[in-house]
Chains A and B, each alone.
Chain A
Amino acid sequence: MKKRRKNVTETVADTTPVTYMNPVPEGEIPMLRLTHVNYRYSAGTPFEVKALDDINLNIRRGRITGLIGHTGCGKSTLVQLFNGLNRAESGTVELDGEDIWKEPKEIGKIRFRVGLVMQYPEYQLFEETVRADIGFGPKNMKLSPEEIEERVNEAAAFVGLTPDLMDRSPFDLSGGQKRRVAIAGIMAMRPQVLVLDEPAAGLDPQGRHSIFSGIRDYGRRTGCTVIIVSHSMEDMAQYCDDVVVMAHSKVLMAGGRDSVFIRADELEGVGLDIPLVTKLTILLREGGMKIDPGLYTVDAMEDALCEAFGLPLYCDSPDGGPEKGGGRA
């Protein structure tokens, strides 16, 4: 069993100055702000493991933030602090400028405001129908049946569940559909922050795209702040605005994706898989070609290659692809 420190009733605010924290534009209150957050497993025993070491981090509102790092780097522990499933040993977690543990008894409300989709969420489905399962969260919020119905339908639409599926048993659906039901279950709580731990794990490329683009559309349309934990740098590059890189229980980098991918060599240094395009940039630059460092999408790479080969750029696709114009640090 995880030995959590049970004797912590009040975490002490650490007032030592923060050495570094990713900046937020002046006047903006970050959606989530973590200061001096520490967390250990099996604290006080010889098996003590430091999971989070003095984390200082801003998560900006309305943006999609990718959280990346190796297994065991502390990212899963971190996301459980966001909604108060775990409590930091020291340091503060602020949601919209307020300490989430100000009223420990009200922590349940925080969980509705910060929705967490855990890894392989399809294994938490239990209701008789898809509709009832998506409605489990809203029901716990003690909403009226009409309100629940409305939210369930809205969430189902966001993840692309068709109405004919709504009255089926969630256990009869395919793996990908189950995953969507589970994600809709959190969206239906209309959280201010949506946190997803590896939402596309085990899915094929098409499944990944549709899950990620669904999440991105949801973020864009509702203005919800989204945090995605993933191993895949390529997905991060494509779908996130900001990227936070964790290594050895610390925040290694945090900021806009351009600022992160331009430091590709550092990412490789801590053993993370950089996007293949970025890797290609590094190899081509080593070979003497003059290409911008830190390219991370195929489109940007294509343009850069045309330039290097002296070919005219032309817009081959009118819609411009998913992130035309971006992808260049």
Chain B
Amino acid sequence: MKSISLGQYYPADSVIHRMDPRVKVICAVAYIVASFLCKNFFSFMLLLVSAIILVLISRIPLRIVLGSMKALIFIMAFTAVINIFWITDPGAEPLFSWWIIKVYTKGLYHALFILVRIVAMIIGTSIFLTYTTSPIALTDAIERLLYPLSLLHVPVHTFAMMMTIALRFIPTIVDETDKIMSAQKARGADFTTGSLSDRVKALIPVIVPLFASAFRRADELATAMECRCYHGGEGRTRLRVLKLHARDFVVLAVMAAFIAGVVLINICGARNGWLYTMTIA
């Protein structure tokens, strides 16, 4: 009955869903890097267009993608406003000026750029990672991508195991919290009225049993894992073997071309002074 969607995985059948999770992680990182590389109007437009294309090929409904941005709207608006008023352009005539506030064309462009960058970053990470990759696949991918670090004695496997167990137990613990709260309500506990300190105190009867049970679970799980011959990551094989397909290489190539495009536009822009202009001079 519980339908907790961790990481908001949205099942659909698209190229991006079928991609190797490792490639998706690389793409997400590359996409963020690309968004920071953008320097002028045209590269930002390329970024925006690419974001829209990403949403379209992922087959995730637009309202879901926009929905995830709702939470960040305040930050976005705030950054934009700051940019509008903060950026000064000593050589230029202010577009608008009142008291000490001066708004320049440059400021407007900066605000626009920042907005595009934030939107692209959100879309890039959510389309490549959260919406199209299940948490378990993501953990898997991260473990494998970080594998070289384990040669430097970084406990990559342990870390991935911890993530897997956390993912496995979150629904169980949420369920349990619900049960304990009901049980305490049946004993007259009140979680909804009273002052803030009252409410914090009212949580003690929930938190103490929850911790006790989490420790008990951890203990039992450790025994069960031992019984199943767990002895760390050494010598382990995996059921799920990640295999790169042709489409993964194509995506990587497209991603490389995209970054090259951004860089190229930047270089051309620097030569021709396209910084804030909409026209190619």
Say if the two chains contact directly (CB < 8 Å). yes
A115 contacts partner chain B, Cβ-Cβ < 8 Å = yes
Residue among B2, B3, B180, B187 with the most chain A CB within 10 A?
B187
Is there contact, CB below 8 Å, between B2 and A1? yes
Q: Once the chains bind, are B187 and A125 in contact (CB under 8 Å)? A: no
A42 / chain B contacts, CB cutoff of 8 Å: 1, 3
Residue among A112, A118, A140, A189 making CB contact with B183, cutoff 8 Å: A118
Contact B212 A189 (CB under 8 A): no
Q: Are B190 and A123 in contact (CB under 8 A)?
A: no
Closest chain-A Cβ to B23's Cβ sits at a distance in Å of 33
A125 CA to B209 CA, complexed, in Å = 6
For the complex, give the distance between the alpha carbons of A124 and B186 in Å.
Answer: 11
Can you list, as one digit per residue, whether each of A87-122 has a CB less than 8 Å from chain B (1) or not (0)?
Answer: 000000000000000000000100110011111010
In which size bucket is the chain B interface?
A: 20 to 34
Interface pair A140/B186, CB less than 8 Å apart? no
Q: Mark A241-285, 1 if CB is under 8 A from B, else 0.
A: 000000000000000000000000000000000000000000000
Asked if B182 is an interface residue, CB under 8 A from chain A, the answer is yes
Interface of B is mostly: helix
User: How far apart sit A85 and B178, CA to CA, in the bound complex (Å)?
Assistant: 12
- Are B188 and A112 within 8 A (Cβ)? yes
**Is there a chain A Cβ closer than 8 Å to B205's Cβ?**
yes
Complex formed: what's the CA distance from A86 to B176 in Å?
A: 17
Asked if B182 and A118 sit within 8 Å, CB to CB, the answer is yes
Interface residues of A in 51-101 (CB under 8 A from B): 80, 83, 85
Question: Is B247 on the interface with A (CB-CB < 8 A)?
Answer: no
Q: What does the 1/0 interface line of B10-29 toward A look like (CB < 8 Å)?
A: 00000000000000000000
**A185 on the interface (CB 8 Å rule)?**
yes
Residues in chain B near residue A185, CB distance under 8 A: 187
Contact residues in B for A111 (Cβ distance below 8 Å): 185-188
* Chain A contacts with B in 164-191, Cβ cutoff 8 A: 171, 185-186, 189
Interchain CB contact (< 8 A) of A189 among B176, B188, B190, B205: B188
A108 pairs with B209, CB closer than 8 A? no
Closest to B216 in A: A123
Pair A123/B187 contact, Cβ less than 8 Å: no
Q: How far is the CA of A189 from the CA of B209 in the complex (A)?
A: 21
How near does chain B come to A194, taking the closest CB pair, in angstroms? Answer: 11
CA distance A202 to B65 in the complex (A): 47
Partner of A124, one of B3, B178, B183: B183
CA of A119 to CA of B2, assembled, Å: 18
Contact of B209 among A2, A124, A140 (CB under 8 A): A124
CB-CB contacts below 8 Å: B164-202 with A: 174, 176, 178-180, 182-190
**Is there contact, CB below 8 Å, between B187 and A136?**
yes
A138 closest partner in B (C-beta):
B188
Q: Which of A41, A119, A171 contacts B212 (CB 8 A)?
A: A171
A49 within 8 A of B: yes
Chain A residues closer than 8 Å to B178, beta-carbon distance? 1-2
Known: A1-B2, A126-B204. A118 touches B212 (CB 8 A): no
* A121 to B178 CA separation, bound complex (whole angstroms): 13
The one of A1, A125, A140 that contacts B190, using a Cβ cutoff of 8 Å: A140
**SS class, residues of chain A in contact with chain B:** mixed
Are B188 and A108 in contact, with the CB atoms below 8 A? yes
**What number of A-B contacts does a CB cutoff of 8 Å give?**
70
Max chain A C-beta neighbours (<10 A), residue from B174, B176, B190, B209? B209
- Docked Cα-Cα span, A126 to B186, in Å, equals 15
Q: Within 8 Å of chain A (Cβ to Cβ): is B223?
A: no
For residue B276, give the distance in angstroms from its CB to the closest CB of chain A: 48
Query: Complex formed: what's the CA distance from A42 to B3 in Å?
Result: 10
Determine the distance from Cα of A137 to Cα of B185 in the docked complex, in whole angstroms: 9
Q: Is the CB of A108 within 8 A of B190?
A: yes
Does A141 make an interface contact (CB < 8 A)?
A: yes
B2-A126 in contact (CB<8A): no
Q: Is A309 an interface residue (CB 8 A)?
A: no
Whether the Cβ atoms of A85 and B188 lie closer than 8 Å is: no
Do residues B209 and A85 form an inter-chain contact, with CB atoms below 8 A? Answer: no
Which A-chain residue is minimally distant from B207 (CB atoms)?
Answer: A126
Q: Is the CB of B188 within 8 A of A186?
A: no
A207 to B216, CA, bound (A): 22
Q: A136 contacts B205, CB within 8 Å?
A: yes
Contacts of A85 in B (CB 8 A): 182, 185-186
A147 CB to closest chain B CB, in angstroms? Answer: 14
Q: Given the complex of chains A and B, what is the CA–CA distance between A80 and B182 in angstroms? A: 9
Question: Cβ of A115 and Cβ of B186 under 8 Å apart?
Answer: yes
* Contact partners of B209 in chain A: CB under 8 A: 123-126
Q: Is A314 an interface residue (CB 8 A)?
A: no
Query: What's the least CB distance linking A141 to chain B, in Å?
Result: 6
**How far is B187's CA from A140's CA once the two chains are assembled, in angstroms?**
7
Q: Are A126's CB and B188's CB within 8 A? A: no
B277 on the A face (CB < 8 A): no
Question: What distance in Å separates the Cβ of A148 from its nearest Cβ neighbour in chain B?
Answer: 12
- Contact yes or no, A137 B212, CB < 8 A: no
Query: Does residue B100 face the partner (Cβ distance < 8 Å to A)?
Result: no
* Extra pairs beyond A112-B188, A115-B186, A121-B183 (5, CB < 8 Å): A108-B190, A124-B183, A124-B184, A125-B209, A140-B190
